[in-house]
Structure 1
Amino acid sequence: VRIYCSLEWLVVSVSPHRYSRSNPYMFADELALGQSCLATEIQTYVYRFVYLVSACGIRTQVISENVLLIQTELYYTPRDGHSNPEKAFLTCITSQKSVWITPVSTEDDIKLKTSHFMSDFQTTPEELGLLHSS
């Protein structure tokens, strides 16, 4: 299990492989984050849970002026019904100086010289397929 967090987001990555001979593989629907939140991304070798810290019953606690503690649980309930459910407590600490919220550019950044290879290309919602036309 790998945990990443910011002031607003929690990302939990879980390998579906277990060290159990009787049940060596976990299916995505056997895992839940906090209050029944399912994986948001399912890949062959990793299940990812990406949620706002205000969702899924995730708890936050201010530790100091710049530090936030984030806590939740990961539940594993096997399909077979014979194995006992498992619960793992997850904790992540982040700060207001988190890399995730550090601006990557400012208005004072170096501006590129204009070139005939550059244009002010702007797409419309119709081009992106965001609007439904009747």
Structure 2
Amino acid sequence: MKVFKFIGLMILLTSAFSAGSGQSPMTVLCSIDWFMVTVHPFMLNNDVCVHFHELHLGLGCPPNHVQPHAYQFTYRVTECGIRAKAVSQDMVIYSTEIHYSSKGTPSKFVIPVSCAAPQKSPWLTKPCSMRVASKSRATAQKDEKCYEVFSLSQSSQRPNCDCPPCVFSEEEHTQVPCHQAGAQEAQPLQPSHFLDISEDWSLHTDDMIGSM
């Protein structure tokens, strides 16, 4: 009960911060398999532009999708030293840090980032035009926008594309082609769960419950 009260308090504080700043400098999204952090170049203040090469996630993971208005880190929850804590049978909290080291000044910052995800949730990414390679799956017409879905069963597969992971055929292990995200306008992602918690969590095997 205390855990859920704490989560509710942090959501309230996060909402208040976003409303006060006018634009959220950082967004954290996650699923049971993936962790995504989107950072605004003016994350510190309006006078300091942070360059993407001055940032890394966790244990040295650089942003893997850079745009003029945002830097995005998208990694598996088993990478970059991301920590996990099962707070219930249905909910896991993932946490790590964004490290900033200025190239022109001695300034350094460590910003904790966390996100809560249900243990059986799929990850829905932004629409991405694709052709489905497997006949056993629903097919999409050329240039039709489809939502990519991936979950824990595909965690052993690593697609090679710019956008977050494409759909794989589990029967044929065939990768669905995915257009690079840079060819599309950035569209806001709709998180099913959003949370930013500064408390440090550590991963213990015994904590991972049930379907983990």
TM-score, normalization by structure 2: 0.45
- The structure with the larger Rg is 1
State, as a whole percentage, how many aligned pairs show the same letter: 29
Q: Which structure dedicates a bigger proportion of its chain to strand?
A: 1
Moved over 6 A (4+): none
Q: Which structure dedicates a bigger proportion of its chain to helix?
A: 2
Q: May I ask how many residue pairs the two structures share in their alignment?
A: 101
Measure the CA separation in 1 of the matches of 2:95 and 2:78.
Answer: 11
How far off its partner does 1:98 sit? 2.8
1:52 to 62, 65, 76: 76
CA RMSD of aligned residues (A): 2.1
Q: Within 5 Å, give how 1:23-38 maps onto structure 2.
A: 24-38=48-62
Measure the CA separation in 2 of the matches of 1:92 and 1:43.
Answer: 23
Measure the CA separation in 1 of the matches of 2:76 and 2:122.
Answer: 17
In the TM superposition, what whole-angstrom CA distance separates every residue of 1:63-121 from its partner, at most 9, and x where no partner exists? Answer: 111000100000000011x24200100110010353527xxxxxxxxx9xxxxxxxxxx
1:65 equivalent in alignment to 2:122:
no
Q: Within 5 Å, give how 1:1-134 maps onto structure 2.
A: 1-17=26-42, 18-19=44-45, 21=47, 24-80=48-104, 82-98=105-121, 100=123
TM-score, normalization by structure 1: 0.69
| Cross-structure match for 1:107 | none
How far off its partner does 1:61 sit? 1.0
In structure 2, list runs of 5 or more residues that go unmatched.
Answer: 1-25, 125-137, 139-173, 178-212
In the TM superposition, what whole-angstrom CA distance separates every residue of 1:9-45 from its partner, at most 9, and x where no partner exists? Answer: 0000000114153xx1011110000001000000000
SS at match of 2:41: coil
SS at match of 1:56: coil
In the TM superposition, what whole-angstrom CA distance separates every residue of 1:47-70 from its partner, at most 9, and x where no partner exists? Answer: 000000000000011111100010
